[in-house]
């Protein structure tokens, strides 16, 4: 069957009609399938795509998570998209904690559509009752000193089939707690509205301006954890959340340590 004649799950015109006052800040393209929305959008960014460019795909065949992990998606089962956002006049150091700030926007949007019990885990996991509902992948680049970010977000609407993708947590899905599911246009529109608000605030005040809200949704606060570097235990301690720069704070026998490496993973001890 000719895929080009089948409507995509997201209709850009319908989505735009739901964005209200932020409509002009986004340029939306919907695809039936691509290897990775973030990879495709990074290429477009290098070719001068404007801030607010959004790429949403029904299916990703080679979606990427942190540390090279896979994130696959299929029609109906999930919502996956990537957003290009340019931060004029900011240095790369100012973008520390961006994935945490994006998590705040996702929680806001999900609460608005009626999803309760959503939490955040450093640095990029979206949890629902301790199961992984979704993830955030941030990829940064700098063009003549002006940084840009491709923000990839994937959410499970339904539970993925057993064996699909690579999960370090039990998967969770919106369908487990919300019936009927919100129309995906309304869900994506709400995500974009909250992303615009949060990214504007982040541009002005960095993660510090959103830290208290992130801490309020941090589900591993004061829990004993292991910090992994690959498969090796890097250190253990009590998780204290994040500081104003987005660094993980860990109480260890030698004191409170800051951990900022993007290659580190957090596990319950």
Tell me which residues are annotated as active site: 66, 132, 267
- DSSP element (H, E) containing 146: strand 146-156
- Measured CA to CA, the distance from residue 263 to residue 229 in angstroms comes to 6
Distance CA 215, CA 243 (A): 9
Q: What is the DSSP string of 63-88?
A: -B-GGG-B--B-TTTEEEEEEEEE-T
Strand partners, 60: 34, 73
Query: CB within 8 A of 150, min separation 6: which ones?
Result: 38, 41, 42, 45, 82, 83, 84, 138, 139, 141
3-state class of 30 per DSSP?
A: strand
C-alpha to C-alpha distances, 174 to 86, 138, 180, 181, 184, nearest whole angstrom: 30, 23, 10, 7, 12
Which DSSP letter does residue 172 get? -
Q: In the structure encoding, which two tokens stand for residue 80, read together? A: 């996956």
Q: What spatial distance separates the first Cα and last Cα of the chain, rounded to whole Å? A: 50
Distances (CA, A) of 38 to 44, 135, 136: 10, 13, 11
CB 197 within 8 A of CB 23: no
Helix, strand, coil share (%) of the chain residues, nearest 5: 30, 35, 35
């Amino acid at each position: 069957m000719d895929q080009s004649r089948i409507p995509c799950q997201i209709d850009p015109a319908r989505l735009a009609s739901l964005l209200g006052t932020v409509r002009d800040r986004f340029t939306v393209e919907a695809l039936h399938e691509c290897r990775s929305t973030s990879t495709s959008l990074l290429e477009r960014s290098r070719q001068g795509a404007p801030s607010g460019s959004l790429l949403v795909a029904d299916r990703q065949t080679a979606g990427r998570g942190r540390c090279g992990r896979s994130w696959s998606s299929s029609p109906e089962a999930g919502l996956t998209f990537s957003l290009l956002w340019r931060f004029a006049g900011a240095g790369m150091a100012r973008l520390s904690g961006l994935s945490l700030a994006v998590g705040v926007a996702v929680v806001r949007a999900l609460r608005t559509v009626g999803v309760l019990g959503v939490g955040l885990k450093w640095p990029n996991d979206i949890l629902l009752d301790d199961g992984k509902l979704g993830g955030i992948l941030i990829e940064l680049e700098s063009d003549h000193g002006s940084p840009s970010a491709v923000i990839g977000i994937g959410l499970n609407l339904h539970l993925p089939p057993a064996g699909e993708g690579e999960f370090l947590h039990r998967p969770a899905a919106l369908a487990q707690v919300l019936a009927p599911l919100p129309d995906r246009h309304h869900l994506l529109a709400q995500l974009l509205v909250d992303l615009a608000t949060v990214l504007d605030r982040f541009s002005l005040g960095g993660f510090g301006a959103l830290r208290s809200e992130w801490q309020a949704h941090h589900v591993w606060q004061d829990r004993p954890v292991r910090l992994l570097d690959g498969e090796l235990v890097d250190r253990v301690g009590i998780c204290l959340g994040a500081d104003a720069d987005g660094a993980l704070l860990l109480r260890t026998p030698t004191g409170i340590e800051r951990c900022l490496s993007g290659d580190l993973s957090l596990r319950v001890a």
